[in-house]
Amino acid sequence: MQLNQMTIHQLRELLQRGVTTSQEIVASVFSRIEEVEDKVGAYLTLNKDQAMAAAKRADTMLAQGDADDLCGIPIAIKDNISTSGIRTTCASKILENYVPPFDATVVAKLKEAGAVIIGKTNLDEFGLGSSTENSSFQPTRNPWDLSKVPGGSSGGSAAAVIAGEASGALGSDTGGSIRQPAAFCGIVGLKPTYGLVSRYGLVPAAASMDHVGPMTRDVRDAALLLQAIAGWCEKDPTSHGASLPDYEAALTGDISGMIVGLPKDLVATLGDHGTKEALYGVANVLESLGARVEEISLPHGRYAMACFYILASAEISSSLGCFDGVRLGKRDLEARDTVSMFTKTRGQFGSETKRRILVGTAVLQAENYATHYAKAQRVRTLIKVDLDNALSKCHVILLPTTPTPAFPLGHKLGDPMDMYQSDVFTSLANLAGIPALSVPCGYTKGGLPLGAQILGRPFDEATVLKVGHAYEQGASIEPRWPQMEVHTNG
Ligand code: GLN
C-alpha cells in the first residue's frame, strides 16, 4: 500500500518507528494530487511550499521523540475554515481574494500537533448545498464514479480523502455536510456535539447548527482527529468546557449489552436503493457482537428536514448580511451609488445562496414569523425531546446517513426540494446538537458506497466511536479503492 493510501494511525506507527518521514508522506500526497486532481477537483487552493516546510519541522519533532499522534500527517481543510495566510473563499466569488490574518482554533490546534495542512477543499458556497455543485469555482466529482456528485457541502474534503489526496480532512456540518459526503464517498465522518469543537474561525452559515468535525478513512482516525481539535476555546462563546476522554482508548470492540435504537418510522420511508438492506446489515452485525437492537419511534423526526430549512435559512439570511462590500466581501467597484454598490456586491452570491437569504428573510418577516419561524423552533424542541427520550433508553440510535447513494452531477440542481431530501436523516442531529457518526456500510450493485449513522448522547462521542469501530471491525467489509472512471450505471 502506498503512503498516501494509509490511515492516519498506520502512518503514525511508521513515523514513530522511523520507517518513513513526513516529507515522504507529504510528497506522496502531492504526487497523487498531480495525478488525479484534474479529474476530481477536490481542492480550491493548494499549500505545497508551506506543507513541505511543515513536514520538515514535523520530521525534526519526530526525531526528537516528542511527537503528537498527528505529527507529520497531511490534512486537508474545508475552505470555510480560516487559515492564516492561506486564501479562504467559502467557494464564493465574494471572498475570492480573502486571506485571513488568523487561524481558526481547529487549524491552530492541528498545527500545534504538528499536522501538515495540504490545502483548502471545495464546498457548496458558504456550505449551502448537498452536492458541492454550488461552488462558484468548480464542481468536485465523486472518485467512485466521476459522473456522480461527492455529496456536500464538504464534498471536496470527502473526495480528497478517498482519492488519496490527503490522509484526513476537516469538514463542517450544519445539516449533514460532513456525514452525507462521507457516505457518498465511502469514508467516516463525525459531527461532534454542539460546543465540543470550537467554531472560532469557521465562517458561519447557521450558527446554532454549525459544527466542525473529522473526515477520515476509518473510525480510529476519526477518534485521533477529534482528540486533536476538541476542547474548550475562549474565543467561541458556545464552547463547552467538558473534560475530554481518551477517544482512542474507547475503541475496545466490546459492545455487548449495549442497546441500539432503530427508529422504525423513519427507516420505513427508505426507498429501494440498497440503503435499507445495508442498514439492516449493520443492525445484524451489531447484534452478532452482543448489542441489542430495539425498535424505537421518533414521532417528530419526519419534520426534521422542513424544520431545518426554515431555521437554517433564517440564520443564514442574518449571518450573510455582513457581506455587503462595506463590512466584509469583495466590493463591486463599478457601482455609482451606495444602493447599487450593495446590490451589485451581493449579486456575486450564487443562486442557492440567494434563495436561502430570500427564504430566511421571508420566514422572519412579521407576518410569517409565528406561522413559520416560531413554529419551527417549537418543532426543533419536540425533535430534541424525542431524541432525548430515545437516548434515555438506548445507548445509541442507528439511522441511514442518506436516503440514496451518490446521484449524477446536474441531476438535482434544478429541483431544490429534491436536493434538500438529502438531509432527511442527518439534520436531526444538528437540530438536537447531539453527536452523529457516519460509517461506510457497503456498496450498491453499481459499486457506490453507502453509509450508516450512529447517533449518541451529548458529549458521548466515546460511545458513538466505540460502536462505529466495533461495527467496522465486525463487518470486515473488504477495502476497495476508487478507480477514477465514469460508470454508466449506479
Ligand atoms: N445540505 C444542507 C444545506 O444545504 C446542509 C449543509 C451543511 O450541513 N452545511 O443547508
Residue 462 inside a domain? The answer is yes
Q: Give the integer Cα–Cα distance in Å for 140 and 122.
A: 7
Residue 480 inside a domain? The answer is no
Protein residue closest via CA to atom 4 of ligand 1: 129
Q: Which residues contact 76 (CB under 8 A, 6 or more apart)?
A: 42, 43, 117, 118, 119, 120, 121, 156, 157, 160, 161, 165, 166, 168, 169, 170
Residue 86 inside a domain? The answer is yes
Domain total of the chain = 1
Domain limits for position 37: 3-255+436-443+456-475
**Tens digit of pLDDT at every position of the chain (490 positions):** 899 999 999 999 999 999 999 999 999 999 999 999 999 999 999 999 999 999 999 999 999 998 999 999 999 999 999 999 999 999 999 999 999 999 999 999 999 999 999 999 999 999 999 999 999 999 999 999 999 999 999 999 999 999 999 999 999 999 999 999 999 999 999 999 999 999 999 999 999 999 999 999 999 999 999 999 999 999 999 999 889 999 999 999 999 999 999 999 999 999 878 899 999 999 999 999 999 999 999 999 999 999 999 999 999 999 999 999 999 999 988 889 999 999 999 999 999 999 999 999 999 999 999 999 999 999 999 999 999 999 999 999 999 999 999 999 999 999 999 999 999 999 999 999 999 999 999 999 999 999 999 999 999 999 999 999 999 999 988 888 999 877 755 4
- Active-site residues: which are they? 78, 153, 177
Q: Closest by alpha carbon to 160, among 175, 146, 142, 174? A: 142
Instruction: Say if CB 462 and CB 248 are below 8 A apart.
Output: no
Residue 376 inside a domain? The answer is no
Q: Which atom, in ligand 1's list, is nearest to the CA of 423?
A: 1
Q: Closest by alpha carbon to 251, among 439, 445, 86? A: 439
Segment 257-284, tens digit of pLDDT: 999 999 999 999 998 788 999 999 999 9
Q: Give the integer Cα–Cα distance in Å for 170 and 24.
A: 22
DSSP label at residue 350: -
Q: Which residues pair with 190 in a beta bridge?
A: 437
Q: Give the integer Cα–Cα distance in Å for 194 and 433.
A: 5
Question: Where residue 29 sits, what CATH number does that domain have?
Answer: 3.90.1300.10
Segment 101-127, tens digit of pLDDT: 999 999 999 999 999 999 999 999 999
Residue 405 inside a domain? The answer is no
Residue 309 inside a domain? The answer is no
Through-space distance between the first and last CA atoms of the chain, rounded to whole angstroms:
27
Q: Is the CB of 218 under 6 A from ligand 1?
A: no
Residue 357 inside a domain? The answer is no
Q: Is the CB of 62 under 6 A from ligand 1?
A: no
Rounded to the nearest 5 percent, the helix, strand and coil shares of the chain are 45, 15, 40
Residue 199 inside a domain? The answer is yes
Q: Give the integer Cα–Cα distance in Å for 313 and 227.
A: 31
